[in-house]
Structure formats: structure tokens, C-alpha cells
Chain A
Amino acid sequence: MIARTESSARWKRAFVILGAAVAAYALLAPLTSLDAVQSAGVPLLADRLWFRLATIIAMFVVMATAWNIIGGITGYAAFGNVAFFGIGAYTTGMLIAKAKWPFLLSLPLAPVLSSAFAALIGIPLLRLRGHYFAVASLGVGVAVGELVQNIDYAGQPLFGGATGLFLPIDAIDNRGLFFFYLMCGAAAISIAVTWLVLRSRFGYGLIAIRENEDAAAVIGVNTTAYKVAAFALAAALTGLAGGIFSQWNVFINQENSFPIEYNVQMILMALLGGTGTIFGPAAGAVLLQLLIQFLGGTLPISFEIPFVSETVRPILAQVILGLLLVMVVIFVPRGVIDFFGGRSRLSLSSLRRSLRDTSL
């Protein structure tokens, strides 16, 4: 027993060190692309492609961590969080493109508007439980995207319509680097917020709601206010990611701001890493996003699938992603992270036990 605890503690330490090393490399390597560093003769450790990828990963770290606040800690299966991403993107996008605001001034309004919207729809939606909340939030995600694309004002599409919205390109030196660190900052904020929430009275209230909402109400948790606050907090962080995305990508439309698949990807990331934990969703985001890019063939390290043409490949990647989703849900419902220093060890018998717990 003691030996096992010791070995699991060792695993945990090894895992933390590995994670820290990877994070440090990912954060510092892009600096080598600066002209000053280049001229000093330091080898280039990350090119533009890696930048783009790393920024996307950081974006998903934000979204998965934000989803964790409402989905993992509060236990409300929100399926429409992409609406907040889109609202954030369009808030910043509209302010920059139409009102000609500077980026750094319009960015703070993205989380403000997203969380205001979340609070507004959260008051009716969070009265629903279980399936009802899940699908109603999914519907909101779809409907908001549709409205943004199709609302006309005086015969003109209000938000750029089907063609989308073009933002002026900002004149910043080392643009890729700037947005990479901005997105990493957002990721750090979202992880810090999760940490604060989990240590606060608020967080304990949310966990009480997850475990038993009626009991939580009985012991004096104002469940409605707590749930709406958690939803709005998740929306603010997701909206922040959307706001950064809009200026980074320079072009936004319904397809890249309200992609339905993001809803499921962020949940799968949180699930893969372990819901309700601080770093789990972030780790899941890195893993899954790397896998998605790898399968899609956009990573520098790539592979050839025999008998598969380039056009079929993205479709096949989706099939593999779907199968992976099915496998994760069936075999490791508590997240992969659980095996590293968590309660259970990766073994055939633990997989079998997890299967027996849930099957008919």
C-alpha cells in the first residue's frame, strides 16, 4: 500500500516536471524568432506555423478551462458555449471594424458583453436541468450564430452578413508573437480564475450544486445566483478568447466564430483531462488539439495513410475523432489524467471496472 502511494507520488512529480518543461519550452521557443535574437545567432526553435498552432492551442485551453467552470465544477452540461466565443469575436470585431476603436480598448468589452448575454439567458436556461439544459444551451449556440449572420438593419446586414467581417490589420511588430502571448495570458487568467474559484466559498457552493442541488439550496446556497454567476464567468473567459481571435484572425464570419464542433471539442478536452480539476482541461486541450491537427495533416510532423487521398483525409480525421470520443466516453470517463497520480492506475482491470460501473 505504502509502496503504491510512493510510486504514484513519484509519477505525479514526474508528470508535473514534464508538464512544466513542455510549457516552458512552448512559451520560450517562439522568442527565438525575434530579429534581435536571430541576429545573435540563436537557432530558430519555432516557425510561424508553430506559432499559429500554439495560439490555437492556447485558445482551446481558455475555452476548455472556461467550460470546466460551468460544466465540470457546477455540473451543468453546457453545450452552447461557442455562442460566447462568437459574441466576444463579434463585439471586438464590430468595435474595431465599424466604430474604429483601437484593439486594446475594444478587447475588454468582449468578455463584458459575453457575460452579460450569459447572465441574461442563464436566468431562464439554468432553471432547466439535465438534458433540458444541455439541449437548450446547444440551441442558443446555434441560434445566436444564425441571428448574427442574418440580422439586417435598413436593408444592410448588421454584422457583415454571410460574407463576414473584415478587420483592419493592426500594425504591431512581431504580430504572431504578440497574439501568441496575449492568448497565453488569457489561458493563464482562466486557469488562475479556476484556481481562485476552487478555493473560494463560491467554488464550494458550485460543487455543492453539482453534487446535489436541492441539498445545496437547503444549506443556504443561493443556487440561482451561483449558477448564473458561474455561467457568466465561463462566458467572460470564452468571450475573451473570441475577442483576441477576431483581431488575430482579421476576418470573422459565422463559420469561424460559431463552429458547432467547438462545443463538443471543449467538453471532450475537459473530459479527457479530468473535469473539475485546475489543470486537467488545459492538459486535455493541448493533447486533443495536437491530435486534431495531427490527424488533419497540418502538423510539421506528419504521416501518410496508405490508399488515402488528400481530399479524403480531413473526413477520415473526423471519423477517427468520433471513434476517439466514443472510446473515451466508454473506457475512461474520469479522464486520462486520472491515471497519472490520480486515484486509479492505467490497467486492464481498471478499464474493465469502469466499464462495469456504467453498463447495463
Chain B
Amino acid sequence: MADVAQLVILGLLAGGVYVAVGVGFGLVWGVLNIVNLAHGALVIVGGYLTWQLFTDLHLDPFLTLPVNAVALFVLGYALQRGVINRIIRAPLLFTFLLTFGLNLVIVNVLLLIFGSDFRSVTPAYSGEGLELGSVVIPYVRLISLAVAILLAASLAFILNRTRIGLAINAIAADRDAAQLVGIDLRHAYGVTYGLGAACAGVAGGLIAMIQAITPTAGEPYTLQAFVVVILGGLGRVSATVVGGLAFGLVEAFGQSLPGSGSVFANAIAFGLMVVVLVTRPQGIMGRLR
């Protein structure tokens, strides 16, 4: 039984990262109808920001997260206004290819700047943890989970309680009607993508504390974000939170199976996704739209 408890705790902690990665991806997908293949690259941009600030200015890595959010928001807003808005009415293959192209550019620019060495962020408390019986929970992981939940809550607050958030919701419901009532679509699209990028930036900061990062380390996260959003159900932040935690649990249990290991992470993720898509396409928490 202790093993199961340990797996549940590990799974939920790992799920925190998936929640952080998933919420931004789900927002962009749900509102803009873009599967953002550059999401993982934006995550890693956040990771390098945290690493740079931690190494040069000796900032506590958790304090760099707001910086990431602001910087990535600006980058995301600029990308949407300058590039993605130009093909938003094209068939989905084009937005798909466009975001892949952006991913290629961002990843290789990072390679030019930082090289392909592994970088990790290790604050003084990174080795310490909370002892619960036989289980040790690293503080970093615990705070990361809390930050991820806080991030999701803030995003839900922005979407449901602020003027621009309501505008974004209106666009998700009906783009043309939203335009009719006077919402500036270009700006609102920019803000939506910016918010998605900001979430990615925060997620990247968390990831840099948990694993060593390279410019290409973000690619698995794009795919996993997709699975998380499918798992929870598209269209609500709370559903993505459930999806992220559920994904963490599935991964933890999947990796504990005999004869398996972390090498099958993607195979497990996609097997799960295909099963969910075929049996329950609206996700665990989703409503049919």
C-alpha cells in the first residue's frame, strides 16, 4: 500500500508541471482554434530565462517566474499580432505548419545562443524535502505543484472576472458575434496567445528546477500538453487541471509497471490519448460542444 501512496504522491507532483504546461496550450487551442506546436519552445524560453536570472543575478528561481510571465506575454502577443493573425482564417494544416515553423526558429535560435549543453537550476534547498513516513517529497516539487494550481486559478480569474477575459470567452463562443459587439479581435487574439505564452513561461521556470534543460527539451511537452488537454476536456481551465493531474498519475503508474520505464513515456501518453479520443472525445470533465 505504501507503494501505491508513494506513486499517487509522485504522480500528483509530476502532474503539477503538466497542469502548468497544459493550461496555456488549452487556452490557445480552445479560443483561437490553434494547436500551438511552438508551445514547448515557449516553455523552454521560460526555462532559459529562469536559468539566466538564477545564474547571473542569483535570484531565487521562484521569484523569476513573474518575470517569465511578463516577458513571454510580450513575446506571445507580438507573435500573434505580427505573424499568426495573418493566417488565422486559413485551413488548420496551415496554422499547424506555421506554429511548427515558429517552433523550429525558436529552438534553433536558443541553440545559437545557449548551445546544446544541459542547464539546470539548483537553488540551495533543491535537495531538501518533506518526510512523510517512508516517502520524501522534494520542496521544489511541492511548491511547483502549488504554483501550477495558482497559475491555473489566476488564469481562470482573468478569464472569468476581467473585461478582456470576458472578451476572450465571447470569442471562444462565437467569433463573428464577438466582433459585432465591438471586441477588437486582433488585440484580443494577441492577448489570448500572450496569456498562453505567459503560462508556458511559468511552466518553463518550474521545469528548469526539476530537470536539466536543453533547447530541444520542450518538444515532448508540446505533445504532452495536447494529451493533457484532451484528457481533461477542451474549453475550461479546471478541466485542464484535472487532465494534468490525471496524466501525472497515469505516467507514474505506467512507469512503475515491470519491464517498463521512462523510455515509454510518449508511447503511454499517446496510447492513453487515442483511447480517450475514441471512447470519450469530450474528455473526463468536458461537455460536448
Asked if B67 lies at the interface with its beta carbon under 8 angstroms from chain A, I say no
- Which of B1-9, B105-113, B200-208 lies on the face that meets chain A? B105-113
Pair B97/A267 contact, Cβ less than 8 Å: yes
Scoring A residues 127 to 151 as 1 if CB is less than 8 Å from chain B, else 0, what string do you get?
1101110111011101100110110
Pair A152/B109 contact, Cβ less than 8 Å: no
Which residues of the other chain, A, contact B94 by a CB distance below 8 angstroms? 329, 333, 358
Q: How far is the CA of A79 from the CA of B29 in the complex (A)?
A: 18
What are 9 A-to-B residue pairs whose CB atoms are below 8 Å?
A128-B277, A150-B263, A316-B108, A318-B104, A319-B109, A326-B83, A358-B87, A359-B86, A360-B88
Which residues of the other chain, A, contact B271 by a CB distance below 8 angstroms? 143
Pair A319/B97 contact, Cβ less than 8 Å: no
State whether A135 and B85 are in contact (beta carbons under 8 Å apart), knowing that A319-B105, A326-B105 are contacts in the complex: no
Cross-chain contact of A326 among B96, B102, B185 (Cβ < 8 A): B102
Which residues of the other chain, A, contact B93 by a CB distance below 8 angstroms? 71, 77, 134, 267, 271
Asked if B146 lies at the interface with its beta carbon under 8 angstroms from chain A, I say no
Scoring B residues 219 to 233 as 1 if CB is less than 8 Å from chain A, else 0, what string do you get?
100010011001000
Cross-chain contact of A127 among B105, B263, B278 (Cβ < 8 A): B278
Asked if B270 lies at the interface with its beta carbon under 8 angstroms from chain A, I say yes
Pair A143/B270 contact, Cβ less than 8 Å: yes
Pair A330/B100 contact, Cβ less than 8 Å: no
Asked if A96 lies at the interface with its beta carbon under 8 angstroms from chain B, I say no
Q: How many A-B residue pairs have CB under 8 A?
A: 136
Pair A322/B108 contact, Cβ less than 8 Å: yes
Q: How far is the CA of A108 from the CA of B17 in the complex (A)?
A: 46
Closest 10 CB pairs of A and B: A322-B104, A325-B101, A139-B270, A322-B105, A358-B90, A326-B101, A143-B267, A359-B86, A318-B108, A150-B263
Pair A268/B111 contact, Cβ less than 8 Å: no
Which residues of the other chain, A, contact B88 by a CB distance below 8 angstroms? 358-360
State whether A360 and B85 are in contact (beta carbons under 8 Å apart), knowing that A312-B112, A318-B108, A319-B108 are contacts in the complex: yes
Pair A138/B223 contact, Cβ less than 8 Å: yes
Scoring A residues 303 to 320 as 1 if CB is less than 8 Å from chain B, else 0, what string do you get?
000000000100110110
Asked if B280 lies at the interface with its beta carbon under 8 angstroms from chain A, I say no
Scoring A residues 33 to 77 as 1 if CB is less than 8 Å from chain B, else 0, what string do you get?
000000000000000000000000000000000000001000001
Asked if B189 lies at the interface with its beta carbon under 8 angstroms from chain A, I say yes
Interface-central residue, B35, B189, B227, B270, by most chain A CB under 10 Å: B270
Scoring B residues 235 to 279 as 1 if CB is less than 8 Å from chain A, else 0, what string do you get?
000000000000000000000000101011011011101100110
Q: How far is the CA of A134 from the CA of B92 in the complex (A)?
A: 9
Main secondary structure of the interface of B (DSSP, over half): helix
Q: How many residues of B contact A (CB 8 A)?
A: 49
Smallest CB gap from A321: residue in B: B104
Smallest CB gap from B271: residue in A: A143
Pair A330/B223 contact, Cβ less than 8 Å: no
Pair B270/A325 contact, Cβ less than 8 Å: no
Cross-chain contact of B105 among A150, A323, A360 (Cβ < 8 A): A323
In chain B between 48 and 88, which residues have their CB closer than 8 angstroms to a CB of chain A? 83, 85-88
Pair B112/A77 contact, Cβ less than 8 Å: no
Which residues of the other chain, A, contact B87 by a CB distance below 8 angstroms? 329-330, 333, 358-359
Cross-chain contact of A135 among B98, B186, B226, B261 (Cβ < 8 A): B226
Which residues of the other chain, B, contact A185 by a CB distance below 8 angstroms? none
Asked if A125 lies at the interface with its beta carbon under 8 angstroms from chain B, I say yes
State whether A152 and B100 are in contact (beta carbons under 8 Å apart), knowing that A124-B278, A358-B87 are contacts in the complex: no
B residues with CB within 8 A of A = 29, 33, 35, 83, 85-90, 92-94, 96-98, 100-105, 107-109, 111-112, 185-186, 189, 219, 223, 226-227, 230, 259, 261, 263-264, 266-267, 269-271, 273-274, 277-278, 281
Q: How far is the CA of A264 from the CA of B185 in the complex (A)?
A: 30
Q: Shortest Cβ distance from A140 into chain B, in angstroms? A: 7
Q: How far is the CA of A77 from the CA of B97 in the complex (A)?
A: 10
Which residues of the other chain, B, contact A330 by a CB distance below 8 angstroms? 83, 86-87, 98
Q: How far is the CA of A323 from the CA of B102 in the complex (A)?
A: 7
Q: How far is the CA of A135 from the CA of B259 in the complex (A)?
A: 27
Q: Shortest Cβ distance from A129 into chain B, in angstroms? A: 10
State whether A360 and B104 are in contact (beta carbons under 8 Å apart), knowing that A125-B274, A312-B112, A326-B98 are contacts in the complex: no
Q: A267-B93, A329-B90, A358-B89 are in contact. List 18 more A-B contacts (CB 8 A).
A: A134-B35, A134-B92, A139-B223, A139-B266, A139-B269, A139-B273, A139-B274, A142-B270, A143-B270, A143-B271, A146-B263, A271-B97, A316-B112, A325-B100, A330-B83, A330-B87, A359-B85, A359-B89
Asked if A173 lies at the interface with its beta carbon under 8 angstroms from chain B, I say no
Q: How far is the CA of A147 from the CA of B260 in the complex (A)?
A: 11
Q: Shortest Cβ distance from B31 into chain A, in angstroms? A: 13
Pair B189/A360 contact, Cβ less than 8 Å: yes
Q: Shortest Cβ distance from A107 into chain B, in angstroms? A: 28
Q: Shortest Cβ distance from B98 into chain A, in angstroms? A: 5
Pair B278/A135 contact, Cβ less than 8 Å: no
Which residues of the other chain, B, contact A321 by a CB distance below 8 angstroms? 104
Which residues of the other chain, A, contact B107 by a CB distance below 8 angstroms? 318
Smallest CB gap from B95: residue in A: A329
Interface-central residue, A130, A315, A324, by most chain B CB under 10 Å: A315
